[in-house]
Amino acid sequence: MIHIQNLAYAYGKKLILQDISVEIPANKITAIIGTNGCGKSTLLKNIAKILSYQKGCIQIDGEKLTAMSRKRLAKKVAFLPQNPEAPEGLTVREIVELGRHPYQSFLSGKSVSDAMKVEQALKEVSLTEEQDKLLSALSGGQKQRAWLAMTLAQDTPILLLDEPTTFLDIQHQKQLLELLHRLNQKLNKTIVMVLHDLNQVNQFADYIVALKAGKLVTQGYKADVMNKSTILQVFNIEVDFLHNAQGKCDYIAV
């Protein structure tokens, strides 16, 4: 679904991404991993067309990203940044309604279809009863679910999430990742997210893209690339893989 070839991105004179070639599979959960500053968020923002790469090519469903208008792209890809912010005084429903903007014109306003998509998104993240509350009145976990509902209302096949578990406690991290897994299974969403916790990657990701210092270290399905060698190469640490009676890796111990 997402084909990236020989991608390079520089901020000023500093090269952030170098010769990145990645194939991100459709209808799977892909985790981008690596140390801080390795280019994970930059790669995600280039796919979302928030940043403009200087070299290479990104294609989505065979169509070049550079040829897509932002409105057309917004019907294919929804992007949730780290720590999103909203103007004061907006309710949960008003936040979710923002996801319908790509389908509205200046004259058309909100449609019946828009309302249905918003209702469905609120239901998917279990925030129907909180829809009239101010976003600022919600807990951290509820706020993140509200932002996720906004991306669901956008009704795109692809979700790009930049560290969606940041600032959440362990319980809310687990709940959010379980929700994303359910959405992937139920709605066939292609989910690409930056994650730091290797055990969360091991539990929820299907496919892994590993970066180091702006370069691709490896990519592939979890069973093929999630091993001691990859982690040592990417993070420069040695780990142990703890397996259950069925031989499945239950925990990665540093």
User: What single DSSP character describes residue 26?
Assistant: T
Q: Find the domain containing 122 and state its range.
A: 85-155
pLDDT given for residue 250 in this prediction = 72
89 & 117 share domain: yes
DSSP-derived pairing of the beta strands 29-33 and 207-212: parallel
119 & 176 share domain: no
212 & 232 share domain: yes
pLDDT given for residue 253 in this prediction = 86
Q: Which of 155, 187, 212 is the last residue of a domain?
A: 155
Number of domains the chain is built from: 2
170 & 247 share domain: yes
pLDDT given for residue 68 in this prediction = 95
Q: Which of 121, 155, 189 is the last residue of a domain?
A: 155
27 & 70 share domain: yes
183 & 234 share domain: yes
166 & 249 share domain: yes
Q: pLDDT per position in the chain (254 positions), as tens?
A: 899 999 999 999 899 999 999 999 999 999 999 999 999 999 999 999 999 999 999 999 999 999 999 999 999 999 999 989 888 999 999 999 999 999 987 666 788 999 999 999 999 999 999 999 999 999 999 999 999 999 999 999 999 999 999 888 999 999 999 999 999 999 999 999 999 999 999 999 999 999 999 999 999 999 999 999 999 999 999 999 888 777 777 778 87
What's 15's domain CATH number? 3.40.50.300
pLDDT given for residue 107 in this prediction = 64
Dihedral angle computed from the Cα positions of residues 143, 164, 168 and 145, in that order, rounded to the nearest 10 degrees = 30
172 & 242 share domain: yes
Tell me which residue of 166, 152, 86, 85 sits closest to 117, measured CA to CA.
Answer: 152
